[in-house]
Amino acid sequence: MPPQRSTGTESEAEQPRYAGQYLLETRLGSGGMGIVHLARSASGLRLAVKVVHAEFSQVPEFRGRFRQEVAAARRVSGAFTAPVVDADPEAERPWMATLFIPGPTLAEHVKRNGAMSTDRLRHLMAGLAEALRDIHRAGVVHRDLKPSNVLLAEDGPKVIDFGISRPSDSELRTETGKLIGTPPFMAPEQFSRPRHVGPAADVFALGSVIVHAATGSGPFDSDSPYLVAYQVVHDEPDLTGVPEELLDLVARCLAKEPEDRPTPDELMAALRSVSASYETRTFIPEQRTSGEGPVPPERKPRPRPERPEGAEDRTHVAARKRGGRRRRLPALVAAAGLAVVAGAVGVFGLPGGSQSPAAEHHTTPPSGSAFRPWNLDLKVSGSRSAGQPRCAYTPKALLCVRPGVLAAAVDPDDGKVLWSRSDPGDASTFSTPAPVLSGGLLLVGSENGLRLTALDPATGATRWSRDVSRYSGGFVPVAGVVLLTGSDSRVTALDAATGKEKWRHAIPGMTMPQLRTYGDGVAYAVAAPAVTETRVAAVDPRTGAVKWQRRVEGRLDLVAARDGSAWFTTVTVDLYADAVLRYDVATRTLHRTALRIPQAQAQTVLRGDTAYLLGSEGSLVAVDTRTSKQLWRVETSVTKASAPVVSGHRLYLSAVDGRLIAVDTDKGVLLGQTKARLGDRRGSLVGALPAPLPAGGRIFATSPGGTLFAVDGRDPSDW
Catalytic (active-site) positions: 144
| 40-47 long-range Cβ contacts below 8 angstroms, 24+ apart | 41/85, 45/85, 45/99, 46/99, 46/100, 47/22, 47/85, 47/97, 47/98, 47/99, 47/100
Sign of the alpha-carbon dihedral angle for 496, 501, 502, 507: positive
Q: Treating both helix axes as pointing N-terminal to C-terminal, what angle do 264-274 and 199-215 enclose, rounded to 10 degrees?
A: 40
The whole-angstrom separation of Cα 516 and Cα 476 is 7
For 52, residues 6+ apart whose C-beta sits below 8 A from its C-beta are: 33, 34, 62, 63, 66, 93, 94, 95
12: burial class by Cβ within 10 Å (0-12, 13-18, 19+)?
exposed
Q: What are phi and psi for residue 226, nearest 5 degrees? A: -65, -45
Task: Find, among 497, 442, 441, 501, the residue nearest to 471 by Cα.
Answer: 501
The whole-angstrom separation of Cα 471 and Cα 504 is 12
Residue type, 401: V
The whole-angstrom separation of Cα 152 and Cα 350 is 35
Q: How many residues does the chain have?
A: 719
- Write a three-state SS string for 676-709: CCCCCCCCCCCCCCCCCEEECCEEEEECCCCEEE
Residue type, 53: H
The whole-angstrom separation of Cα 634 and Cα 667 is 10
Count CB neighbours of 685 within 10 A. 11
At 672 the three-state DSSP class reads strand
Residue type, 476: V
For 348, residues 6+ apart whose C-beta sits below 8 A from its C-beta are: 178, 179, 336, 337, 338, 339, 340
The whole-angstrom separation of Cα 409 and Cα 418 is 5
Q: Are 15 and 2 spatial neighbours (Cβ–Cβ below 8 Å)?
A: no
Instruction: Give the CA angle between residues 471, 474, 480 to the nearest 5°.
Output: 100
* H or E stretch covering 334: helix 329-336
508: burial class by Cβ within 10 Å (0-12, 13-18, 19+)?
exposed
- Write a three-state SS string for 548-579: EEEEEECCEEEEEEECCEEEEEEECCCCEEEE
Q: What are phi and psi for residue 263, nearest 5 degrees? A: -80, 165
